[in-house]
């Protein structure tokens, strides 16, 4: 119970991370210059399925990945992992409703893309640093790495290229921004970790099972 109460105090930091992350994803989307691999995939789904928005597609895919990771890979999830699934997607759609405008000037598009990439990586770093569990996709990478004995980075690269390929085939928004995200995202996340004085190699991510063990 003590651990649970401590984690509740981290929720504001977690939610701030979600808001910044969702804003970043939205900005890369409206830049029209390309999104992350998963963004291209979610965009492709929204294009092909008429009733599916970008945000709801993000949420549904995240929920499916979360369930597969738990039941087939034995992945331990944290409070933040579950909240990630149900909050980030709707936030993206909310930003889209508040400001559904896409810049038509190339210089403005580049500026929007840069801020989108910065906010996406900042938000991701922020919620990971809250130590309430990784995102569902990160949990998938770790789970697959554990059962295949391949390093997480190779699993991540492989899955993201597969997802990117499917997203492009579905008509998702692919462009120079996608390439830039692939190249710089990891470095920016590490940079923000240093700013927050957070070391992912030594900091433990709390999972929900810990609450019952220590109750």
Q: Please, what is the average pLDDT of the chain?
A: 91
CA gap 211, 215 in Å, rounded: 6
Tokens describing residue 97: 């409703």
Instruction: Write the pLDDT tens digit of every residue in 68-83.
Output: 989 988 888 899 999 9
Residue 198 is predicted with a pLDDT of 85
As a residue count, the chain comes to 215
Give tens-digit pLDDT for 109-124: 999 999 999 999 999 9
* 98 token code pair: 């508040």
The domain of 105 spans 2-213
Lowest mean pLDDT among 3-7, 130-134, 167-171: 3-7
- pLDDT bracket for residue 134 (50, 70, 90): confident
Instruction: Please indicate, yes or no, whether the overall pTM of this predicted structure exceeds 0.85.
Output: yes
Q: How many domains does the chain have?
A: 1
Q: What percent of the chain has pLDDT over 90?
A: 62
CB contact set of 45 (below 8 Å; sequence gap of 6+): 52, 57, 61, 170, 172
Task: Supply φ then ψ for residue 149, to 5 degrees.
Answer: 70, 15
């Amino acid at each position: 119970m003590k651990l649970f109460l401590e984690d509740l105090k981290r929720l504001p930091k977690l939610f701030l991370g979600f808001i910044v992350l969702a804003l970043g994803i939205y900005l890369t989307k409206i830049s029209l210059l390309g999104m992350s691999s998963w963004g291209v995939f979610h965009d492709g789904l929204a294009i092909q399925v008429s009733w599916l928005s970008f945000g709801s597609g993000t949420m549904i895919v995240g929920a499916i990945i979360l369930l597969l990771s738990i039941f087939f890979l034995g992945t331990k999830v944290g409070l933040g992992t579950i909240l990630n699934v149900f909050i980030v997607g709707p936030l993206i759609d909310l930003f889209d409703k508040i400001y559904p405008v896409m810049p038509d000037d190339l210089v403005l598009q580049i500026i929007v893309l840069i801020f989108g990439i910065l906010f996406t990586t900042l938000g991701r770093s922020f919620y990971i640093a809250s130590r309430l569990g990784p995102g569902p996709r990160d949990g998938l990478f770790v789970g697959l790495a554990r059962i295949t004995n391949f390093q997480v980075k190779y699993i991540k690269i492989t899955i993201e290229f597969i997802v990117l390929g499917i997203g492009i085939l579905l008509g998702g928004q692919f462009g120079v921004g996608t390439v830039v995200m692939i190249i710089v995202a990891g470095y920016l996340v590490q940079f923000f970790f240093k700013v927050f004085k957070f070391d992912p190699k030594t900091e433990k991510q709390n999972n929900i099972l810990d609450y019952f063990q220590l109750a």
